[in-house]
Amino acid sequence: MPSHTFVLNGRPVTVEAPDDMPLLWVLRDKLGVTGPKYGCGVGVCRACTSHLDGEEIQPCTVAVKDCADRRVTTIEGLADGDTLHPVQEAWLDCDVAQCGFCQPGQIMTAVALLRRNPAPTDADIDQIQNICRCGSYPRIREAIKRAAAMTAPGS
C-alpha cells in the first residue's frame, strides 16, 4: 500500500493508504483525528473543513496523495497549546455553538476567510457555504466580525 507523508498540525506523519483515499478518512480512521466531521462526503455541508497549506479544503473531497509533503491543519491544530486562536476566542465570546458538530468546520472556514480578507463585509460572510443545522448563523456572523476586530491592526 502506498505511503504518504505530510505535516499534520505541525508534526510530520506518514500513513499507508490507497492514493485515492479521501483525507477525511485518513484523518479519522487511520490517525484518530476526529475534529473534522463527516456530514455529507461530497463537499456540500463543509463540516470537515480544514486547511491545506493554509487554504480552506474539504477533506472529504481531497485525496491523500494530493497532500504529500504539504501542511494539513485541522481544528486540533489551530490553537497554540492552551492559547486559543482569536477566532476560537470569538466563538467563545459569542457562545456560537449549539450542537457543535459543524463548528470545527465553521471555525476553519472563518480563519481562512479572515486570512484572505481581514475585514469581511456582510456580503463576504454571506458567501460562506457551511451548513449549521442548528441555525447558529447570526452568532457566526457576529463572531467573525469580532475576530476581525480583535486582529485588526491597531486593535
In this chain, which of 68, 92, 119, 149 binds other proteins, going by CB under 8 A?
92
Region binding other proteins by CB under 8 A among candidate stretches 51-59, 65-73, 94-102, 147-155: 94-102
Judged on CB neighbours under 10 Å (0-12, 13-18, 19+), 32 is exposed
Asked whether position 147 contacts other proteins by CB under 8 A, the answer is no
**Residue 130 near residue 78, CB atoms below 8 Å:** no
Q: Does 21 bind other proteins (CB under 8 A)?
A: yes
Give residue for cell 483525528: 33
* N-to-C CA span, the chain: 51
Question: Angle formed by the axes of helices 86-93 and 137-151, to 10°?
Answer: 130
Confirm or reject binding of residue 100 to other proteins (CB under 8 A): yes
Q: Site map for other proteins, 44-73, x if CB under 8 A?
A: xx-x--------------------------
Determine the longest span between alpha carbons in the chain, in angstroms: 52
Residues in the site for other proteins, rule: CB under 8 A? 1, 17-18, 21-22, 25-26, 28-30, 32, 34-42, 44-45, 47, 74-76, 78-79, 84, 88, 91-92, 95-104, 107, 122, 125-141
